[in-house]
Amino acid sequence: MPKIAIAVLCAVQLLVSGCATIPSEMSVDLATSQTELAKIALEERDGASRIMAVKKITDQTLLAKIVLEARDDRVRGMALRKLDDGALLAGIATECEEPWIRAIAVERIDDQALLSRIAVDDREAVVRSVAATRLVDQALLAEIATRDESPNVREGAVAKLADQALLSEIAMDDSSTYVRKAAVERLADQELLARIAIEDKDAFLVCRAAVERLSDQALLAKVAQDGRSAASVRIVAIAKLIDESKLVKVAMSSNDRAVREAAVEKITNESALAKIALQDVDPNVRYAASLQLANQSQQKAAVDVVDSEIDEMVEAPKGNPTEASLLPVAPKRDNCGWEGIQYIENTLASRSDEPEVVNNAGLVEEIEIKLSSLGYETGKVDGVVDGKLRAAIRCFQITALSNRSGAITRALVDQLHIE
């Protein structure tokens, strides 16, 4: 049976059964012209039907009409993305009230003269920014990149600039972090990139972009070693270093523990690793070096030295649990991994601002039982807050909470689901 006959039959059956309306999807299927589809897109109450109608429309004038007159923004956006008539797009880009509609229209325009006018004159920054990213005129891009009041528009223009001298000025002087970053991402001057990575004090994003553009190993090593740059920036530089001799130099000379540790993790030279494992002033760095050693006997000796120091640092005083709780106790590696040992670098860490829950023996026993069931070493279940329990609590907090105090707080009790 023909499709139209089936549709008519269904309509008759619905009318007979007391329903006086035809399903919306069927009204789209029954539409015989582009004009009828446009009417559905503009007037139909059912959103799905409006979308289905737009999908079937190819008439450019009707699509433009829907963009300008429809009440449903989804329908308008879909119709706009089906438009490819330059004149209609130009009309929408310059006359439509809504900035987001104008911006989408601009994305589909190729007319450079029109794009130039919009990039300079449109009242909305978002529209000017989109127009700038589609320009090819370098002189106009330079003007926009240095004069437009909106950082977003300047950023869009900078992303298309090729003038290295101007990009250098913008990368150093623009007031916006994102504009400077966009300029850095187009710079080729390795010396300048290294200078920015070291000297830009205001924005990690800019420094990181500069390091990521660097390929010169000597300059990467310079950034990694220079104490004027942030440790996080130096670590990014280390990640790009492949010259082992430069990595060893950083690992042995940097004044920042995290930087030395990052360098150590990329070193394979056994002699250098053994020296660092025995001589570095920080146990975290020595331990990282010991793990890198391929020689098992050297590795064991280095680990034993670090472990003995850790044991001395984490040993809690005997006796009154209240006195013990005043000391931040570092968790041991067998509790929750090396992440816990990082507390060694700050053995006098401040306690949580959150008050500690009253340490009644029953509550302490419940905490000991719960932590033990989760695999943390708490020692005997005896209701006593000792150094081992503090270490287990802190270890749990590292992975479960933002507070890492080792204190028995309400947040800890709630996290462990203890009533």
Q: What is the pLDDT of residues 10-50, one digit of tens each?
A: 444 444 444 444 445 557 778 789 999 999 999 998 889 99
Residue 385 has pLDDT above 90, yes or no: no
The reply to whether 260 falls in a domain is no
Average pLDDT on 389-415 reads 73
Give pLDDT, residue 311: 47
What range defines the domain where residue 373 resides? 319-415
Give the mean pLDDT of 316-323.
39
Interval 353-365: pLDDT, tens? 556 765 677 888 8
Mean pLDDT, residues 186-196: 94
Per-residue pLDDT at 324 exceeds 50:
no
- Residue 143 in any domain: the answer is no
Residue 129 has pLDDT above 90, yes or no: yes
Assess if residue 381 is contained within a domain: yes
φ, ψ (nearest 5 deg) of residue 367:
-65, -45
pLDDT of residue 322 exceeding 70: no
Q: Is the pLDDT of residue 318 over 60?
A: no
- Tell me the pLDDT band of 200, cut-offs 50, 70 and 90: confident
pLDDT tens across 147-173, in order?
A: 999 999 999 999 999 999 999 999 999
Question: Is 287 inside a domain boundary?
Answer: no
**Is position 281 within any domain?**
no
Task: Please report the pLDDT score of residue 169 as a whole number.
Answer: 95
Cβ-based burial of 113 (10 A; exposed 0-12, middle 13-18, buried ≥19): exposed
**Domain membership flag for residue 380:** yes
Of 11-15, 196-200, 392-396, give the lowest mean pLDDT range: 11-15
Give percent of the chain above pLDDT 70: 76
Write out pLDDT tens, residues 80-127.
Answer: 999 999 999 999 999 999 999 999 999 999 999 999 999 999 999 999
CB 68, CB 62: distance < 8 Å? no
More confident residue, 219 or 281: 219
pLDDT at 319: 40
pLDDT at residue 377 in the model? 80
- pLDDT for 404: 56
Residue 361 maps to a domain = yes
Q: Which pTM was predicted? A: 0.60
Is 40 inside a domain boundary? no
* Mean pLDDT, the chain, whole residue set: 79
pLDDT in tens, 233-242: 888 899 999 8
Amino acid at 407: A
Q: What is the mean pLDDT of residues 48-69?
A: 94
Q: What is the pLDDT of residue 328?
A: 30
For residue 405, how many other CB atoms are within 10 A of its CB? 22
Three-class SS of the chain: CCHHHHHHHHHHHHHHCCCCCCCHHHHHHHCCCHHHHHHHHHHCCCHHHHHHHHHHCCCHHHHHHHHHHCCCHHHHHHHHHHCCCHHHHHHHHHHCCCHHHHHHHHHCCCCHHHHHHHHHHCCCHHHHHHHHCCCCCHHHHHHHHHHCCCHHHHHHHHCCCCCHHHHHHHHHHCCCHHHHHHHHCCCCCHHHHHHHHHHCCCCHHHHHHHHHHCCCHHHHHHHHHCCCCCHHHHHHHHHHCCCHHHHHHHHHHCCCHHHHHHHHCCCCCHHHHHHHHHHCCCHHHHHHHHHHCCCHHHHHHHHHHHHHHHHHHHCCCCCCHHHHHCCCCCCCHHHHCHHHHHHHHHCCCCCCCCCECCCCHHHHHHHHHHHHHCCCCCCCCCCCCCHHHHHHHHHHHHHHCCCCCCCCEHHHHHHCCCC
Q: At what angle do helices 99-107 and 86-95 cross, to 10 degrees?
A: 150
Q: Looking at residues 259-277, what average pLDDT do you find?
A: 88
For the chain, the domain total comes to 1
Tell me what the mean pLDDT of segment 310-319 comes to. 43
pLDDT at 308: 55
